[in-house]
Amino acid sequence: MKIGFVGLGIMGRPMAINLKNGGHDLIVPERTSLTDEIRAAATVVADARAVAAASDVVILMVPDTADVDAALFGAGGVAAGLKPGTLVIDMSSISPVATKDFAARINALDCDYLDAPVSGGEVGAKAASLTIMVGGPELAFERAKPLFDLMGKNITHIGVQNGTGQTCKVANQIIVALNIQAVAEALVFASRAGADPAKVRSALMGGFASSRVLEVHAERMLNGTFNPGFRIRLHQKDLNLALSSAKDLNLSLPNTAIAQQMMSSCSAHGGADLDHSALVLAIEHLAGHSMRDPK
């Protein structure tokens, strides 16, 4: 298929390359930030409108709700170039409510729409092992499934209604944030109490406390290597979506609110573009103690 791809950042670049390596033609909009790898792999056209006009499927992978809105409906956007029958897949993590509106507007152009946010970070994007959570019509999902298989391993059709994929992603981000906070608190506690946090992590990996966050992000915390796989500011955005949705649903999410405040503290101290494992810096600040420099 001819696959248009809009949003070639940390996640989007390897996802697009995996589609190209799977035998599909890749079409992308011109950007000064395009890497040599992408330029060699893709046909580069003027803008998102031209991408849509040349594509059978258009995939979006951009940071936030407003970015999806602009990519779809802004000047030179995807919607202006769509042909009837084109499939639009938004793999960004955005508002479930806005997603329903975007889908209705794309459907009015006689095109199908899927919301298919992902989890797994840069590592999962490069390894084509992403978890993909999909909302939208069954037939559109079946059409897109071979593409999802080139980008991920755990692919779930959450529901036939648009927005259900985004709802699942918000739930995922709640769990990941709380797990990061739990791991950060446990390791800072262990270090402050005089135990070697690296050995504590090793011991916990063999028990019920084991998790992907303990495996990957705890190592980042111990080493202080916070180059972004998934940025604090993006996880902040996802937790804000959770809290605003909870308000609409008359729900209380107290621990989610605390995790969001810890990430806000990191951002306030200049860490918005660090990896979300840097939440540990907020915990260390409150403790007046660094695991990497316990003195």
CB atoms within 10 A of CB 286: 12
d(CA 10, CA 185): 28
Structural contact between residues 160 and 137, judged by C-beta atoms closer than 8 angstroms: yes
CA neighbor of 254 nearest in space, from 272, 242, 266, 264: 242
Residue labelled with tokens 């003027």: 46
Phi first, then psi, for residue 5 (nearest 5°) are -135, 120
Q: Concatenated DSSP letters for 87-132?
A: EEEE-S---HHHHHHHHHHHHTTT-EEEE--EESHHHHHHHT-EEE
Cα gap 59→115, rounded to integer Å: 10
* Active-site residue identified among 169, 237, 247, 295: 169
In the chain, the amino acid numbered 157 is H
N-terminal to C-terminal alpha carbon distance within the chain? 58
Please give the distance of CA 184 from its chain centroid, rounded to a whole number: 21
126 is catalytic: no
Q: Which long-range contacts does 65-70 make (Cβ < 8 Å, 24+ apart)?
A: 65/94, 65/95, 65/98, 67/7, 67/92, 68/92, 68/94, 68/98, 68/102, 69/98, 69/102
Sequence-ordered list of residues with C-beta below 8 angstroms from that of 100, at least 6 positions apart, any chain: 161, 162, 163
Annotate 233-263 with DSSP letters as a single string: HHHHHHHHHHHHHHHHTT---HHHHHHHHHH
What amino acid positions are annotated as catalytic residues? 169
